[in-house]
Structures are given as C-alpha cells and as structure tokens.
Amino acid sequence: MARKKKTKEEPERPQIEGLQAQVTEQPIVETLELNYMPYAMSVIVSRAIPEIDGFKPSHRKLLYTMYLMGLLNGKRTKSANVVGQTMRLNPHGDAAIYETMVRLSRGHGALLHPFVDSKGNFGKVYSRDMAYAAARYTEVKLEPICNELFRDIDYDTVDFADNYDGTMQEPTLLPTAFPNVLVSANQGIAVGMASMVCGFPLGEVCDTTIAYLKDNQHNLLSTLHGPDFPTGGELLYDEKALTTIYQTGRGSVQVRARWRYVKEENVIEVYEIPYTTTVEAILDKVTDLVRTGKIREISDMRDETDLNGLKLAIDLKRGVDPNRLMSRLMKQTPLMDSFSCNFNILIAGMPRVMGVVEILNEWIAWRTESVRRRVYYMMKRKEERLHLLLGLKQILLDIDRAIQIIRETDEDGDVIPNLMAGFGIDQVQAEYVAEIKLRNINKGYILKRVEETAALETEIADLKETLEKPQKVKRLIISEMEQVKKKYSAPRKTLVVYESETEEEAEEEEIADYPVHLFLSKDGYFKKITPLSLRLGGDQKWKPGDGLLCETETTNRSECLFFTNRQQVYKTRLYEFEDMKASLLGDYLPAKLGMEEGEKVLFACLSGEYKGSLLFCFENGKVARVALSCYQTVSRRRKLTGAYSDKSPVVSILLLEEEKEIVVCSTENRAVLFDSSLLAVKSTRTVQGVQVMTLKSKYQVKWAAAWENTQVKNRARYRLKTLPGAGALLKPEDLGEIQLNLLEGTDSESR
C-alpha cells in the first residue's frame, strides 16, 4: 500500500514497525460530553457534596458498615478492621476511608457531635503537623448519638441501593431524627462548585426546627444565635451577615481566638483558635511579624499544647499592654479569621445553594416522608399479624372440627386446602394455623390471642389516623427531636460576642483614674459618685418602692460585670458612666446596657484581674463554681450569652476571692453550711453544679450567702462535711436579714 504524501498542513507522524498509526479526530465539545461530564457529575453527586441527612456517601458507607459490624453497642475494634469491611461498600483505597473515619472521630475534634468513639492518636483538627496514627494502632466504635441515625433504618424509612458490585445493599440516606445537616460541619470541593456548611449547636437547631414546625414565620435569629465551632473561639455577632446567611446560604462570619493574660509570668495564653486555621499557621505569621520588625512587643512565642488542650504562650516584654498587642495580632494574624458559608446541598440528586429556611423546609419534608414510611411499615406488619390471628380465631371457634379435618386428610399437601375450605380462610392463615403446636390449643392461649387481636385493631386504627393527619406526624417529629435535645445537646463552644472592637487602632485620650463609690438599686439603677460629692450631697434618692441593693468602693478605670436573669453578662468600664450626685436616680442599666425586654440585673462584681471564682446557687439545691477568668474578654464592652446554667432559676450569686464558709437556706427554713473548697472550680460557664442541699418536692432554695454576712451563730449545727445534705431547721437566734455588698453577692429572691 502506497504511503500518503506529506503536506504542510499534515506533519508526518511516527510509525510503529509492523503497525500503521491511526488517529481519530474528535471535536472538543464531544470529548467533554462523553468523557469529562460523567466524571464531573460523579464527583458532584457521589463524592463531594453532602445530602439532606448531612452526610457525604463516604461518611454514610463508613457509618453503615460500623452499624452492621455491631459497633453501636459492642466493644471497640481495630480501625483497620473497619476500613477493610468498608471496602465492601466504598471502592476507594484504605487511606481515603481511614481519613474519613478520622474526621468523624471524637479524638480528632472536627465535629461538634462526633459519630466515632475513638481510642488512640487521631491527630487534631487545629494542627497540621499533629498526624494521626496508622489504622492498625487505633480502635473505634460508634458514639451513642448514632442511635438517632439508625433507629428506624429497619422500618423501610429510607431507600436502599446495590453497592458497586451488587453483592449487598446500602442506604441511600440515613434516617436522622434531627437536622444533622445543620449540626455537622461539612466541606467539599467538586468540579465547578464547592460546599462549605458550618455547624450549629444541636440544642439551638432542635429548638429552631420545633419552633419553625409550629410557626413558619418564626424568627430564626431568636433561637439560632449563630454558628458553633468545635475549636471554640469567639463569634463576632453581625445580625446583617447572619440574616444573609440564613436567607441565601452564602456569606461569612468572623471568629477570633480566646486568650488570657497571666500577670505573674507576663505571658499571654491563647487557648482557643478559629476553626479555619491551625496553631502552626499562627506561629508562622507571628514569627514573620517579629522578624520583619512589625511587632516588637514579643520576646518569645511557643506551642505548649499538651493533653490538657491547646495553648499558645506569648512572652511579653516589660511594660507591654496585652490588650493592645492582642488587638493588633487579631488584625494581622489568623488569630481572627472568617468562615465563608456556602450551603450547597444535594436535593434529589441536584445541587442547590439554600438558606437555613430552605434547608429546614427540605429536611422537614424528607423527615415527614421517613416517619410516614415507618408508620406505614408498622401498620402493614400489624395488619399481617392481625390477618393471621383472625384466621386463628376462625379455627378456635371449633377446634374439634379443625383437628378432625387434619386427622381425616390422607396427604400432607391436602391439609392446607382442606382447612381453607372447611373454615373459609386463605392460604396464609391456613399455613399459620397448621404450624400451631398441639400444646398451644388451650384456653389460656386462646384468650391471649383474642386479647392481642383487639389490641392490634386499636393500634392499626391509631396508625391509620396518623397517616391521614399531618399534624400527628408533625407531633411525632417534634417529640423525637425533644428527646434528642434532652439526651445529646451540649453547651455552645464558640462564645457569641454581640459588641466588638472593630475600629482601627488609635491613640485614646488619657482616662482620669480617681476613687469612686458605686451604688446599685434593686430596680437596676446605678450610680457612680465621687467621695467629695458623696460628702457634700444629701441622702440617696430612689424611686418609690426601690432601695439600695449593694455598694462598694473602687476607681474610675475599673471594669464591672453585670449578670442578668437571662443568663447573660454585660461587661463595661466604669468611666463610661457619668459621675452623678446622690440626689439623682442614676443610670437605668437595662437602657444603658441595651438589655432585652424584661431583662434585669441580678448581680454585679468588679472584674479586677479576673482572679477568684463565682458561686451560682440554684433553686434546685445545686451550686456551680465557675472561674471568673471564664468571663475575661478583649473588647471594651460586650454582652456574653450563656453566663450560667439555665436548668434551674438562680437565687444567689457570690464572688469568692478566697475560700469561705457558705450558708444555703431553703423555703422550709432549713440551712446548710459548707466550705467552698468542697466545690471544684469549673472552666465551663454553663455547668449545672453539684447538689449541695437535698430538698423535699415542695421546697426550694431561697438564698445563699457567705457566713460572715448572715446572722447564723451556731455554725456546727448546720455544717456539712460531705455534700449533699438536708440541713437543719434555723433556730430563732440564727434568723435575720443577710448583709449584701457588691463584692460578696446578691440575694435575688429578697428583691
């Protein structure tokens, strides 16, 4: 065959000896459609984008495999074992499967509510260099919260599909009893699109969903206060930005690190950082700023992270203002970072960017269908059981005849047809009757089956009514979410900061520092009076029915914390209040601090150097001891939520700068006296506390105070050596009003 002549337009192509090279031309559009588009769609639909249950396929395959392995209630097993079993559903390599498991684990700390209970080194989400151990060294099982993922999976609540080789089936979605899509953070990069979903507190998500089910005009911001991140930090509250995210699914929020200043060592300790960064990135940036001379106040910075948690230590030079330095570092380093939200979720196989309202609508619709399928499945099973019992009932009306039919039947295969003909029952009923043991044909067995028939008819009627009435399905969804919240909700890890310093750093006017007297009234009026004005002025003026709650002496540049009945604390500097005279009513704190309607001040204290602790005494007899340093913040004035537990009304708050004996009194006029050293200082503000006083059902605690501020004389009568105790009845000589001052605490019930 003659060789084709070479032309300028067609350069000569190399020939393989014995073969003739063949080139097939294909339009680029056709290549994209046939080769690239299927790959792109596979990445979008089957890999990178989460679905309405809050999981990607890799998450779902891993968790379902662990469920089949009995790891929901069993003991831990080697991670390598789980990885190998997961390959039956996930055709990826073991490294990819194990990395998925690491992200879902408690040890790694990437999720607010981890799904894998881990043992061993799983690395940390806040460190890029802290690598996780190999799968052969670690052990795993499922966390208890996974009960809410698989509880209804055997009741036909979700569809199942064949795995990649058709040897077994797997669920297309997991029937989550709560909106996990809003609780578990998820991020993924597909082809031409991406997804970035932040997590929200489980309790807030459940409350919001329940409120939205009851009223679709519900204001989400009132119950869903903002994202929550497992690494903690502070969320700078921006109502406009959050509203945009809730409506469109796109936007960003700012998160910054939390820190404390150790005056004795002249060291700043950073103990919580933004979710989007790592300790190494922060160290690298600070080192660069110090090397280039942009930051001169730092003498050394090191990573002191250990088994107790994250800690970055910054050694300061002498005379450095830690607040100003951290304000600069927040602006120039990842100590303050933004989280960009992109709520891109697969709905029926199609990616959609949705706001929180749309996500709730889709989840509610999907969950409603799951619950209806469960109810329908249960109803059908009960109907099948009832059908069998009705056939049995026909036989039991004349047992002798049934026995006669069976005895007179020559062939085994004719027993079923003869029973069907003799009693007018179908084949399924006849087979069920034929399998009954002779010992069960007694009066007791017959009566139980009749009773079961009546109960089944009632249950079936109730299930049918549930299917016909959407409100009953809605009540089921609400009831299940309330149970989930009660079992698994946890305090918010990321502190919501409602006011922050975002303005550019500038030199401030020198604030004069001089002695002042502080007065707080029962109705929330606050006065700051100079000693001279106090000497020259007359009696204190209060509104009718109002009076002095507490007073103290301090200086004009001090900081003060105001705790309210809404579990919130307001921090402000005293120089922000005007000096006034005793003859004036004073500043009304709810208006001055921008409190919510009906919110009132319960307690105030001077922050000082954030030493000591606060005692919160609740009506139910519990007392929580929280370190004052938990309320340390950077900004000049802000509102912090979750100041203390909301499980029981607080009756008294005390500030302890040293160990003291505390008296707790109930409405039964019983009292206990205990040493504050019996209570451990907690670093979680919303801790529910330790039971100090055991109460009868109709009584509550009415006040608590330091012993020296009470009229109690016979301490031995009321002293407890171990907690809790019922206490002793107060003797007449021990009764009396307690004295209050700003540094020791307040008795909210006496107001």
Q: What is the mean pLDDT of residues 736-747?
A: 45
Using DSSP's 3-state secondary structure scheme, residue 68 falls into helix
With contact defined as beta carbons under 8 Å apart, do 339 and 44 qualify? no
Looking up tokens 């001077």, which residue turns up? 606
Q: What is the pLDDT of residue 257?
A: 95
Angle, CA 576 vertex, CA 266 and CA 625 arms, to 5°: 55
Q: Which of 129-138, 223-232, 675-684 has the lowest mean pLDDT?
A: 675-684
Looking at the structure, do residues 167 and 272 belong to the same domain, yes or no?
A: no
The identity of residue 606, as a single letter, is L
Span 581-592, pLDDT tens digits: 888 888 889 888
Span 91-125, pLDDT tens digits: 888 999 999 999 999 999 999 999 999 999 999 99
With contact defined as beta carbons under 8 Å apart, do 563 and 600 qualify? no
pLDDT tier at 227, thresholds 50, 70, 90: very high
Q: What is the mean pLDDT of residues 265-279?
A: 94
Q: What is the pLDDT of residue 741?
A: 43
Interior/surface letters 640-668, b for 16+ CB within 10 angstroms, e for the rest: bbbbbbeebebbbbbbbeeebbbbbbbeb
Q: What is the pLDDT of residue 447?
A: 74
* Average pLDDT score, the chain: 86
39, 137, 164, 514: which one is catalytic? Answer: 137
Whether 667 is covered by a domain: the verdict is yes
Looking at the structure, do residues 745 and 635 belong to the same domain, yes or no?
A: yes
Q: What is the pLDDT of residue 452?
A: 84
Residue 541: both structure tokens together: 């003026």
Looking at the structure, do residues 697 and 582 belong to the same domain, yes or no?
A: yes
**Cα 675 to Cα 655: distance, rounded to the nearest angstrom:** 14
**Of 326, 146, 138, 349, which is closest to residue 234 (Cα–Cα)?**
326
Using DSSP's 3-state secondary structure scheme, residue 546 falls into coil
| Domain CATH for 154 | 3.90.199.10
Q: What is the pLDDT of residue 230?
A: 95
DSSP string over 103-136:
HHBTTTT-SSS-SEEEES----TT-SS-PPPPTT
Whether 365 is covered by a domain: the verdict is no
**Cα 23 to Cα 341: distance, rounded to the nearest angstrom:** 47
Residue 300 reports pLDDT greater than 80 = yes
Bridge partners of 671, per DSSP, are 665, 728
Q: Which of 274-288, 472-486, 526-540 has the lowest mean pLDDT?
A: 526-540
Q: Which of 273, 301, 334 finishes a domain?
A: 334
Residue 21 reports pLDDT greater than 70 = no
pLDDT tier at 499, thresholds 50, 70, 90: low
| Domain CATH for 641 | 2.120.10.90
The identity of residue 14, as a single letter, is P
Q: Which of 290, 313, 334 finishes a domain?
A: 334
Span 128-140, pLDDT tens digits: 999 999 999 999 9
Whether 94 is covered by a domain: the verdict is yes
Q: What is the pLDDT of residue 577?
A: 86
**Cα 24 to Cα 9: distance, rounded to the nearest angstrom:** 16
Span 320-372, pLDDT tens digits: 889 889 988 998 999 999 999 999 999 988 999 999 999 999 999 999 999 99
Residue 680 reports pLDDT greater than 60 = yes
Looking at the structure, do residues 294 and 164 belong to the same domain, yes or no?
A: no
Looking at the structure, do residues 557 and 701 belong to the same domain, yes or no?
A: yes
Whether 570 is covered by a domain: the verdict is yes
Looking at the structure, do residues 534 and 658 belong to the same domain, yes or no?
A: yes
Domain that holds residue 108: 55-175
Looking at the structure, do residues 605 and 708 belong to the same domain, yes or no?
A: yes
Percentage of the chain with pLDDT > 90?
Answer: 49
**Cα 738 to Cα 711: distance, rounded to the nearest angstrom:** 7
Looking at the structure, do residues 513 and 658 belong to the same domain, yes or no?
A: yes
Looking at the structure, do residues 135 and 275 belong to the same domain, yes or no?
A: no
**Cα 191 to Cα 35: distance, rounded to the nearest angstrom:** 14
| Domain CATH for 308 | 3.30.1360.40
Residue 499: both structure tokens together: 């006011």
**Cα 604 to Cα 518: distance, rounded to the nearest angstrom:** 11
Q: What is the pLDDT of residue 15?
A: 54
Using DSSP's 3-state secondary structure scheme, residue 619 falls into coil
Q: Which of 175, 199, 222 finishes a domain?
A: 175
Angle, CA 49 vertex, CA 45 and CA 54 arms, to 5°: 115
**Cα 82 to Cα 59: distance, rounded to the nearest angstrom:** 13
Residue 244 reports pLDDT greater than 60 = yes
Q: What is the pLDDT of residue 509?
A: 40
Q: What is the pLDDT of residue 313?
A: 95
Span 59-94, pLDDT tens digits: 999 999 999 999 998 899 999 999 999 999 988 889
Question: How much is the pTM?
Answer: 0.68
Whether 458 is covered by a domain: the verdict is no
Confirm whether 137 is a catalytic residue: yes
Q: What is the pLDDT of residue 106?
A: 95
Interior/surface letters 506-525, b for 16+ CB within 10 angstroms, e for the rest: eeeeeeeeeebbbbbbbbbb
Residue 750 reports pLDDT greater than 50 = no
Span 640-667, pLDDT tens digits: 888 999 999 999 999 998 899 999 999 9
Bridge partners of 548, per DSSP, are 521
Whether 582 is covered by a domain: the verdict is yes
Q: Which residues contact 715 (CB under 8 A, 6 or more apart)?
A: 661, 673, 707
**Of 232, 224, 218, 219, which is closest to residue 200 (Cα–Cα)?**
224
Whether 36 is covered by a domain: the verdict is no
Residue 647: both structure tokens together: 């499980």
Residue 14 reports pLDDT greater than 70 = no
Whether 463 is covered by a domain: the verdict is no
Span 383-434, pLDDT tens digits: 998 988 888 888 777 778 888 888 888 888 888 888 888 888 888 888 888 8
Looking at the structure, do residues 520 and 635 belong to the same domain, yes or no?
A: yes
Span 125-178, pLDDT tens digits: 999 999 999 999 999 999 999 999 998 999 999 999 999 999 999 999 999 999
What's the domain count of the chain?
Answer: 3
Q: What is the pLDDT of residue 736?
A: 60
